Amino acid sequence: MKKKIVTVLLCAAVATSLLACGNKENNTQTTEAATESVAEPTTEGETQEVTEETINSLSFDIDATSCVTTLADYTNVEVSLTGDYEVPQDYVDQALEGLLESVGLTEQEVTDRDEVQEGDIANIDYTGYFNDEAFEGGTDTGYDLAIGSGAFVPGFEEGLIGAKVGETVTIDVTFPETYTNNPDLAGQLTQFVVTINSIKVPVTIDMLNDEQVAEYFGDTYEITTVQELSDYAVGYVEEQAVTSSIIEYMLTNSTVEVPEDYLNARVDEYVAQAAAYYGLDMASFASMMEAYGSSLDGYKEEIRESIRESIAQELIFEAIGIQEGFDSYGEEYDAFIQKNLDESAYSTAEDLYDILGDGNPEYGEKYAKRMYVMNQALDFVKKNATVSGAKVYTYKEQ
């Protein structure tokens, strides 16, 4: 049986800051939101913000070198990709999706048909009615809905299949009995009047030609053909295989004391982000968990150990970075920040720090510096590793 490689990403997209292990001050500050409030459409199109009070992990401080009580030898990690090794196609597809998204090639309008199909992205205007009256939160315009995503109440997306661009249709849907965002609608029959503005489809590599690849990827990636783009994605996955092996080795052979208070804060933040993704406040999110036969506490326990491991790997590579002197922030750090600015909508470091720190630029700068140290450390360990087995793609210097 072929082994599927496991991709482990350092510095997951969970807010990262640290709690004292040594003699540094433990500064626990309470804020209204653990993360930036994110409003997402609920099943009826209503949006809410998560505003639960929780301890912001960005307020914690820590000495990584004290928390990592045993640091494995990282100077020449041996990585073997021999044996039954393969690059899984679904991993390559994910890498390609990320590459296309990075240059803004995510969707394109359908011009050879006008009927909505499964898998389409339908741009719609809609209004929801209950007892012939429009209900609050049930109206939106210019909304992009992925057909088949299950983002809206059951029956809504199915009712759009076959509808034509420019057409207005009425869809009867019944809200689930467990619906909590608007209890008056729970179990009730409603109607949505929906107008189809346009149809788009997600862009995939097989929809591109060499000329398009050169236009979008030539300057930034020096990639000019569809085949080169595919090879680059395969190489990225192989590179992640090496990263995964190194991280697994360091976690297995190092000893890390993860502070429980900091872990609790990170777990709470993850839960807050999950609730925000569904457009729910914490009480509604807890109700949703119960509807699926779980509980908020049970959900926290499910994610606790994976977050503990994520923190441990962050601390390990921060400790390496400090030991190797990467915590001096000169021109390379400035280039790191500029690269992030170039890939974002922010024009200044202060703007970036503000968003990273949830409105607190001081926290944001500390977060950015930790990410820099960790990534410098990971690059250092990878460059000094001994890799055998499958050929690993070598990236061009950017």
Measure the CA–CA gap between 236 and 393, rounded to whole angstroms. 7
Residue 250 is assigned to a structural domain of this protein: yes
Same domain for 253 and 347, yes or no, is yes
Higher pLDDT: 80 or 297? It is: 297
Whether residue 283 has pLDDT greater than 60: yes
Whether residue 11 has pLDDT greater than 60: no
Residue 397 is assigned to a structural domain of this protein: no
In which band, very low, low, confident or very high, does the pLDDT at 160 lie, cut at 50, 70 and 90? very high
Average of per-residue pLDDT across 123-140: 94
Instruction: Single out the residue in 147, 180, 202 at which a domain terminates.
Output: 202
Same domain for 218 and 235, yes or no, is yes
CA 28 to centroid of chain Cα atoms: 26
For 164-213, the DSSP string reads BTT-EEEEEEE--TT--SSGGGTT-EEEEEEEEEEEEEE--GGG--HHHH
Name the nearest CA neighbour of 252 among 73, 35, 11: 73
Residue 317 is assigned to a structural domain of this protein: yes
Domain that includes residue 366, residue range: 3-106+210-389
| Percent of the chain whose pLDDT exceeds 70 | 83
Q: How many residues can be counted in the chain? A: 398
Degrees to nearest 5, angle at CA 14 with 9 and 19: 110
List of long-range contacts for 356-362, beta carbons under 8 Å, 24+ apart = 357/58, 358/15, 358/31, 358/33, 358/34, 358/35, 358/36, 358/56, 358/58, 360/58
In which band, very low, low, confident or very high, does the pLDDT at 54 lie, cut at 50, 70 and 90? low
Q: Please state, rounded to an integer, the average pLDDT across all residues of the chain.
A: 82
Higher pLDDT: 72 or 79? It is: 72
Same domain for 215 and 160, yes or no, is no
Measure the CA–CA gap between 21 and 101, rounded to whole angstroms. 39
Measure the CA–CA gap between 123 and 115, rounded to whole angstroms. 12
Chain segment 200-223, per-residue pLDDT in tens: 999 989 899 999 999 999 987 889
Same domain for 337 and 193, yes or no, is no
Instruction: Tell me the CA distances in angstroms from 51 to 188, 238, 270, one per residue in order.
Output: 28, 41, 14
Look at the block and give the residue holding tokens 């965002």.
181
Question: Would the pTM of this model clear 0.75, i.e. be above it?
Answer: no
Range with top average pLDDT, 233-242, 251-260, 279-288: 251-260
Same domain for 161 and 310, yes or no, is no
Same domain for 173 and 150, yes or no, is yes
Same domain for 352 and 220, yes or no, is yes
Residue 380 is assigned to a structural domain of this protein: yes
Residue 335 is assigned to a structural domain of this protein: yes
Q: For residue 97, how many C-alpha atoms fall within 13 Å in the half-sphere facing its CB?
A: 7
Instruction: Single out the residue in 202, 225, 251 at which a domain terminates.
Output: 202
How deeply is 38 buried, as exposed, middle or buried, from its count of CB atoms within 10 A (0-12, 13-18, 19+)? middle
Q: What torsion, rounded to 10 degrees, do the Cα atoms 161, 165, 170, 174 define?
A: 40
Same domain for 350 and 261, yes or no, is yes
Which CATH number is 185's domain given? 3.10.50.40
Main-chain dihedrals φ then ψ at residue 204, nearest 5 degrees: -125, 165
Average of per-residue pLDDT across 189-197: 96
Decide if 256 contacts 68 (C-beta within 8 A): yes
Same domain for 197 and 215, yes or no, is no
In which band, very low, low, confident or very high, does the pLDDT at 33 lie, cut at 50, 70 and 90? very low
In which band, very low, low, confident or very high, does the pLDDT at 390 lie, cut at 50, 70 and 90? low
Instruction: Single out the residue in 202, 224, 254 at which a domain terminates.
Output: 202
Same domain for 318 and 262, yes or no, is yes
Number of domains within the chain: 2
Same domain for 262 and 220, yes or no, is yes
Please tell me the predicted confidence (pLDDT) of residue 102.
83
